Structure 1
């Protein structure tokens, strides 16, 4: 049991480290050194620049279509084969969305003076392919974490990106406060607002109602179970289950 747990932890950590490594690999053909690069600057121009957003968008669109489109709804309920077809449809839509976004970013990069060595069509093509490939690598990593690691791979990759950026964002806010660009009361108000929002979400998600249930007497051969009272916990908000 301990060996299996250690293996899953190692796979999860390794996949997350690969994700962080990929965020520091810039798109080929960029003159990043001339722009005093920071970690955040490089991550925005890396092969993982699109992140998992195209895949998540595609999954949400397919889910919404399955609600209003009877064919997709039946396909989702038709068993493992139907779910595989939906997964392929999600990946196909991901490819289209990722290619559209990557092409827009690559085209915009060519308009920045001095950033791209050779701002021609070949750079746009290779940059688009790199970012689209990065999306599918992240999808694969998230699946490996889900199947062989610990927890939900999509959630862990998204969480790592947020946690890594959090210290830098806090330092930036504190620097703006020292410069007088924003007031401390405004920052405190935002912090209290988001803390209260998280608390409300947790309370609503975990809200349950206990319903009293009474079991009648049961006979098992010569043994008789008396009448028993129990409490049935029912989740009020089933959206997150």
Structure 2
């Protein structure tokens, strides 16, 4: 078995374990609970993997946000293997706290629904919480095995599988609504066209780069002389990705409201605020667009450092045509990165707004949000790249 086949087998095996665990109910759930009651509790099954990898992603994103504003953590993140291991430990500790809090909330909610739990009480709360927290860490371990020994990013693949397995049911429900006449007859083709167009836009922008021409002067390395070379400094249109803008935006909305509810109680003005911030409401769309746009700039400024790029170019003997080394190069790169980020931020806002506008326009159903499209497409593109690279490596090894 060659390397590519081995990695594919490991990836498929890990994902099958994930799907198997998604059908194992957590401890204490009544066996007499009907399927329709379970579906009323939440979109996902009440399984040992009920929390998926969301607590781990939330912890990782929180630490990245802290690194943006706290230089010490940022320096630790860039200090090499030891620093990355410490960051990984911090992430796991924060994951434990977030997962425990979320799992206890889910267990408490289940216990409050008549007939779902066999024997409500403290033991169910403890056992169900421990089961769900263990499920999160099991998925984190599986994702690491995929990333290290399989193909693609393990966390992204687990998210993608969760999105894809729910898609057939969503499509079936939409066709059922069309058959019953609850939706206009021409809505199905319209949604199909919009979905295909959305995927095409994501594929285009995720592959788009802004190229800055760089000229390297002739230099001597040891006994050999390297001739002058031309190259490009490639800047990704969407350097901010999607997880941080889309994940942090709801926190900006709902954490202040949750704090206000804790302090003032459930008041009429808080109820109105929650109503205005529902998905599809104009206030939610406007504020969400602004927050995503700003977060895209903040995170891009963190991952793209013009000063560091200019310093690296100068050390390697590289110059940008028509731009002097030093401060002039920094200013030029900062201007190029800023203009590129504007395009990327507008693209992210559009990806988020398209499904929400469809919902606001006559409460139309949409099979998946812009974030889901972006995660699926980017994961597939990454898989394609890794498979091609491994295929070339395997062929090269066979020829030798």
TM-score (norm 2): 0.53
The change in CA–CA distance for 1:184 and 1:51 in structure 2 (over 3 A counts) is farther
The change in CA–CA distance for 1:34 and 1:77 in structure 2 (over 3 A counts) is closer
Paired residue secondary structure (2:234): strand
The change in CA–CA distance for 1:77 and 1:37 in structure 2 (over 3 A counts) is same
- Structure 1 gaps of 5+ residues are 219-224
Query: In 2, Cα distance between the equivalents of 1:173 and 1:73?
Result: 46
**Aligned residue number for residue 91 of structure 2:** 90
Q: CA RMSD in A?
A: 3.0
**Aligned residue number for residue 206 of structure 2:** 205
Deviation at 1:10?
1.5
**Aligned residue number for residue 73 of structure 1:** 74
- 1:206, 1:235 within 8 Å by CA — same for their partners in 2? no
Aligned ranges 1:170-181 → 2 under 5 Å: 170-181=171-182
Query: In 2, Cα distance between the equivalents of 1:231 and 1:84?
Result: 34
Query: In 2, Cα distance between the equivalents of 1:166 and 1:39?
Result: 18
- 1:55, 1:139 within 8 Å by CA — same for their partners in 2? yes
Residues 153-201 of structure 1, C-alpha deviations (whole Å, 9 max, x = no match): 1111111111111111111111122122233444544444443333333
- Residues 61-70 or 184-193, more deviating: 184-193
- 2:30, 2:117 within 8 Å by CA — same for their partners in 1? yes
Query: In 1, Cα distance between the equivalents of 2:20 and 2:148?
Result: 22
- 1:15, 1:141 within 8 Å by CA — same for their partners in 2? yes
Query: In 2, Cα distance between the equivalents of 1:129 and 1:151?
Result: 29
Query: In 1, Cα distance between the equivalents of 2:78 and 2:233?
Result: 27
TM-score (norm 1): 0.85
Deviation at 1:81?
0.8
**Aligned residue number for residue 234 of structure 1:** 234
Residues 117-176 of structure 1, C-alpha deviations (whole Å, 9 max, x = no match): 111011011000000000000000000011111111111111111111111111111112
Q: Is 1:13 the counterpart of 2:12 in the alignment? A: yes
Deviation at 1:210?
5.4
- 2:214, 2:233 within 8 Å by CA — same for their partners in 1? no
Query: In 1, Cα distance between the equivalents of 2:228 and 2:60?
Result: 48
The change in CA–CA distance for 1:77 and 1:114 in structure 2 (over 3 A counts) is same
Aligned residues: 235
- Structure 2 gaps of 5+ residues are 220-225, 242-302, 304-400
